[in-house]
Structure 1
Amino acid sequence: MAATKNRATAAAQALIAAGADVNAKDDLEDSAYLYAGAEGLDDILEMTLRNGADLRSTNRYGGTALIPASEHGYVATVRMLIEAGVDVNHINNPRWTALHEAIVYGDGSERYQRVVAALLDAGADPSIRDGSGRTALYNAQRSGQIAIVSILRGHA
């Protein structure tokens, strides 16, 4: 975790090669795998995926690595996690999916459009309602994300 949080890729690589558990969690419930995914540290994320990352592992918010990666608009990271097999419809403790977070925390820019499209292409269900009963489409409309609205409607 220390190597990952310090973005020390070479140190993380050495520790993983020496047998460090990529799923071991710190007191914040982060693991090297979860943190690398959440922060878009794709070099370290790739190493964790090759070395036993638990794709069902969740952070302190009950979210998989895909949810914060989507929140931050990390397109390559989102694609890597989807390709690895992370559940695109996992619902975290606040009752949001990766799709919800990409819209609620995103700004509708091109990178968020690409994240939303990747999630939808991977089977994200836009009809899932958040804890307030809102769909992804409703949240996109409410925040004026016209391009995201179009993408969502195009996948209906």
Structure 2
Amino acid sequence: MEDTIIISEFLAAAEAGDIDTLQRFLQQGVDINARNKQKRTAILLAAMSDQLETVKFLIQEGADINLQDQICLNPFLYGCINGKLELVKIMLQANTDLERLTRFGGVGVHPASEKGFVEVVRELVTTTDINVNHTNICGWTPLIEAILLNDGGEKQQEIVRLLVEHGADTQLVDQYGVTPLAIAREKGFTAIENILQEAGAK
């Protein structure tokens, strides 16, 4: 019972960004990778509370940055899903595993592309070798998500451009055999249609 209380205090300190308390617990031998009922670690809770200095401290202390909670979140994927560029950069510097999957079977660039987080997408495609052609459990690549699940506006156009410039295959189809170009056309996204055609999409 005592252990449970100590772990919950340790995790609460991470969430609150209380580095002194974390340090004290670690010196007492608390497991840096201890989890709560949702399987969330201290570093994930710190990341979800925007406690970036605490995230850096826990990385320095040897936290396992790739552990995922019961809905597949870890600090890197949380950052990609929520457009937290600074957090994403910290995790990239710490060599986060780019192949960890979201609960929909996508890599980090999937949700960032879908949600219109241009700067996160730019960071991922220009500074890492993340797989821009990874297909998730719905049969979608990041390019398809960027077109299908948003409004076709300027942010989405920029993301489509970034993906195409950094190796997105414009011919990879969805689970029904529909191409990105056909999706853009069907949704009336003329600007995206033009970007894809310029990239040789058919």
Match of 2:79 among 13, 36, 46: 36
Question: Which residue matches 2:91?
Answer: 48
Question: CA shift at 1:112, angstroms?
Answer: 0.6
Stretches of structure 1 lacking an aligned partner (at least 5 in a row): none
**CA offsets 1:85-141 (integer angstroms, 9 cap, x no match):** 101100001010000000011211111111000000001011111012111111111
SS at match of 1:15: helix
Question: Which residue matches 2:104?
Answer: 61
AA at the equivalent of 2:59: I
Question: Which residue matches 2:4?
Answer: none
Q: Does 1:92 align with 2:136?
A: yes
Q: Does 1:71 align with 2:85?
A: no
Identity across aligned pairs (percent)? 35
Question: Bigger relative contact order, structure 1 or 2, given CA contacts below 8 A and separation 6+?
Answer: 1
* Bigger Rg over Cα: 2
Question: Which residue matches 1:122?
Answer: 166
Question: Which residue matches 1:133?
Answer: 177
Following the alignment from structure 1 to structure 2, what is the Cα–Cα distance between the partners of residues 109 and 16? 37
The size of the alignment, in residue pairs, is 156
TM-score by length of 2: 0.74
Stretches of structure 2 lacking an aligned partner (at least 5 in a row): 1-43
CA RMSD of aligned residues (A): 1.1
Following the alignment from structure 1 to structure 2, what is the Cα–Cα distance between the partners of residues 8 and 146? 41
